[in-house]
Amino acid sequence: MRKRTGSAFTFFLLLAVFVAQGCVTVERPPSPPFGTEAAIYSQGKLQVTFADTLFRTFGAARAALTDNDIVINNVQHDMYGGTIEGNKKDGTSVSLVLQAKKPDMIVTTIKIGTFGDEALSRKISRNIESRLKK
């Protein structure tokens, strides 16, 4: 009987250690960086996260395209996101896709032409950001 009690004690001790290993505090991940400084340019697309509402970001994006002499051809949006399509004066296509990740966190993807134009994409992004600060 004595040997059985020792085995049971060892079993519960090991079980407690394994359970304790699984009980660790999980740190909340930091909030994502916002704005032009945190923009990611990859595969011809610039992805920027703005800390504002979809309505304000969408309006700022439309105005930013107009500021850069881009003719807007097609606009579609709902409460979760939208797209703005247009063309530069030389006929190069311009596309903005806005997606609401949260009510105040809008991920915007900007693509210029087939292969992208990083300089113009960043300029549009800066224009959007400056309009949101007003």
DSSP conformational letter for 44: T
Cβ pair 96, 90 in contact under 8 A? no
Mapping DSSP to helix (H, G, I), strand (E, B) and coil, where does residue 54 land? helix
Residues contacting 119, CB < 8 A, separation 6+:
none
The domains located in the chain, with CATH, are 31-132 (3.30.160.110)
Closest by Cα among 100, 85, 107 to 33: 107
Closest by Cα among 78, 72, 38 to 54: 78
In order along its 134 residues, the chain shows pLDDT tens digits of 455 666 777 777 666 666 666 655 555 555 555 665 578 888 999 999 999 999 999 999 999 999 999 999 999 999 999 999 999 999 999 999 999 999 999 999 999 999 999 999 999 999 999 999 97
Q: Looking at the whole model, is its pTM more than 0.85?
A: no
